[in-house]
Amino acid sequence: MPQPESTELLGLGYAGGNFCVLAFHFCYDFGMRKAVVLTICVATFAFSLVNEARAQSEAGAVEIIARITPTAARPEPVRQFTFYLLTRSYSDIVKEVADKDPIPPRDTFIDGLKVSPELRTWLKGHDILDLSGPDLDKLLTPDDVLTVPEFLLAYQKTNGGGVTSGVPKPKFSETDKTEHPEKYEKLKQDYMTNLKKFVRARPETISGVELELDAVNPQHKWAALQNDRRKRVLRVAPDLAQLRFLAAKADTDLEGRASISGLAPGDYWISSLNLDADAGDMRVRWDVPVRIERGKTVRVELSNLNSIDAHGSTP
């Protein structure tokens, strides 16, 4: 007995993310249903191949050749070295990491120093943190020497013990401070007045005080603070670059060549992250921009000319 005819809607999904609905009018014959399903499957497969081929034709590629030229020598290939293709400049990534881990403001740093209030005030009024410089004496006035305890003690050590003739000597002792306070204050004031006159008359005697200031030199702590921050940036920046901005990576062969294909059109950066490539006396890094165009292969030559000197570069 013939079966009634019917109309069905078949939904078909495919890789491009689209959805196609096909209407078929047929009778419920088992053989015919198999034929229809087979036809749909073949059509779907063919359609996906067309989409894949189209995507491949729209993708771009980059070929890299890396060479370093040592001083007074021939260029050498950068062998078996990993290059990272990033969607953002590595220099900008480093800056982002550094900005999120800032060094405290200078005045805040000075406020945290375990020195006298007078030395903190002096440091804030002068653009200097390193008290070991040979030109420190040119910045110090007689008033500075007398009012900043650290400078006064350094001056006394530098010129005491008969090193400098004629330098005034204190005639009071610490016991006078408690037993004879009035006498102590008068003798101290006389000493400071005479010392001030002497320093004004003999300004060259300030020279050398920097040698006695090492124990209170803020530069040691400031340098340690900067070095610790630099280490943190060195540790975090490469991880951030690979987690958020890595498009692809490739290793060079023995000729210093590498290639990456299947790239979406756009702007990229060829980076060595914080890794140094070296040859002879040269140590360099790269962070080179490259634009990938649809269906084209871009060739990039990495050399000394577009490198960053690793000796003087930031993280």
Give CA–CA dist 265/315, Å, rounded. Answer: 29
Determine the pLDDT at residue 45.
54
| Residue 1 near residue 11 (C-beta atoms within 8 A) | no
Q: Is 76 helix (H, G, I), strand (E, B) or coil?
A: strand
pLDDT, one tens digit per residue, over 210-241 is: 999 999 999 999 999 999 999 999 999 999 99
Give CA–CA dist 158/202, Å, rounded. Answer: 14
Q: pTM for this one? A: 0.69
Which range (42-46, 133-137, 301-305) has the least confidence? Answer: 42-46
Across 51-68, average pLDDT: 78
Give CA–CA dist 245/84, Å, rounded. Answer: 10
Asked if residue 9 has pLDDT above 70, the reply is no
Determine the pLDDT at residue 183.
87
| Residue 289 near residue 91 (C-beta atoms within 8 A) | no
How many other β-carbons are positioned within 10 Å of the β-carbon of residue 174? 8
> What is the pLDDT confidence band of residue 171, given thresholds at 50, 70 and 90?
confident
Across 278-298, average pLDDT: 95
Among 137, 73, 57, 97, which Cα is nearest to 274's?
A: 97
Please give the radius of gyration of the chain, using alpha carbons only, rounded to the nearest integer: 38
Domain residue spans of the chain:
5-58, 63-101+223-309, 131-217
How many other β-carbons are positioned within 10 Å of the β-carbon of residue 238? 20
Q: What letter represents residue 179's amino acid? A: E
Q: What's the farthest any 2 CA atoms get from each other in the chain?
A: 136
More confident site: 49 or 284? 284
Q: Check residue 280 and give left, alpha or beta (phi > 0: left; psi -120 to 50: alpha).
A: left
Give CA–CA dist 27/30, Å, rounded. Answer: 9
| Residue 92 near residue 265 (C-beta atoms within 8 A) | no
Give how far Cα 63 sits from Cα of 66, 76, 85, Å: 10, 18, 11
Looking at CATH, the fold of the domain delimited by 63-101+223-309 is given as: Immunoglobulin-like (2.60.40)
Determine the pLDDT at residue 176.
77
The secondary structure of residue 142, as a DSSP letter, is H
Asked if residue 205 has pLDDT above 50, the reply is yes
Across 85-101, average pLDDT: 97
| Residue 199 near residue 146 (C-beta atoms within 8 A) | yes
